[in-house]
Amino acid sequence: MRKTLCLLLILLFLPLMPQKASAVGLPTVSAKAAVVINGLTREIIYSKNEHQKLSMASTTKIMTSLLLIESGLLDDTYTVTKEALVEGSSIGLKEGDSITGKVLLAGMMLESGNDAATAAAIWISGSQTTFADKMNQKAKQIGMQNTNFVTPSGLDSDEHYSTAYDMALLAAAALEVKEFREISSTVSMHATYGTPQKTKFFYNHNKLLTEYDGAIGLKTGYTKKSGRCLVSAAEKDGKLIIVVTLSDPNDWQDHKNLLDYGMSQVESCDITYNGGDIEVAVVGSDISLVALAVPKRTAGLSEEEKKYITYKIETEGFQYAPTKAGQIAGKVYYYYKGNLIATDNLYIGGDTPFSNTSHPDNNFWRSFLLIFSFFK
């Protein structure tokens, strides 16, 4: 009788107990080294030899791509030198070819061109050796304590190594950069380059982009020495999960399982900006100020972690009437412990009709602001 009563009480109160993320069984992983992290907090969710130093092959190009973006050369044009023509995977560059930084970036991240990576390194730093110094400086900034870069492409070298955990930190840092996010999630594109100019079709080697819901990148890699290497990331319900495997013969399936596992272990909460009303001035209307609407934002954080969220608001300063509800008028940036984790547009919350009678100074201020914006 007592056992029956206890069972009834458990069944009665079970729905009232706090619910965590749905459970997914801990997967078996074939890799020599692997790690799963919460991309927002950098917290380790799963690990296997995550600090073991191993070759990381072409996943190296994540760092090279990040430094190319930071160089500010994406819209500039480079003339390829013979030093960039290295062995291995290639986008077919030839000495004297003309190519933009954006195409070099795509050539690295989609087609894994060693020539594209080497060309970018020589363009930025003058030589592969000098560029490797820049790579290692950036690695230290990110917190990669067990990494040493020698080549921009990932070609084998005894002194070129990293760890699963360090590569996960690199992935998290790279995903904070808009241009990197865009190229790492691009499935295919046409690219024009060469002398004379020709258009080629680039196709991303990362099968997860089409086989895993929410996948946003990042990079494949393979050499005989390193085996199959893969860095992946996926977003769902505000959660960002990053998975790295090094020397993994079953990487595609392992990553699907590990991404599922990571998603199941991370909570999600509402972090929408609530720091007070955001308003912008309106010129040329009876309404002098209009409120901005903030879209809802969830993130893969616990309620305890939520307290580390900070915000930055950017608005356009003023709007000319008439305005319409839904117009973009600014941005809100979300940071977790100083790391950018999300960006949303701010929208005008209501219509403001034009009027040149209610405020005599409207025409004066409109002219003033037009002149100011011209010289800004």
Q: Which residues are catalytic?
A: 58, 61, 112
> What distance in Å separates the CA atoms of residue 255 and residue 246, rounded to the nearest whole number?
11
- For residue 47, list its beta bridge partners: 35
Contacts (Cβ under 8 Å, ≥6 apart) of 285: 321, 322, 323, 352, 353, 354, 355, 362
Measured between alpha carbons, how far is 349 from 193 in angstroms, rounded to an integer? 45
Name the residue among 199, 221, 217 with its Cα closest to residue 208: 217
Q: Where are the alpha helices (DSSP H) in the chain?
A: 2-13, 61-71, 101-109, 114-125, 128-142, 164-174, 178-184, 208-211, 251-265, 362-375
Q: Are 321 and 359 in contact (CB under 8 A)?
A: no
* Sign of torsion over alpha carbons 95, 98, 100, 105: negative
Record the tokens describing residue 205, joined without a space.
């080697």
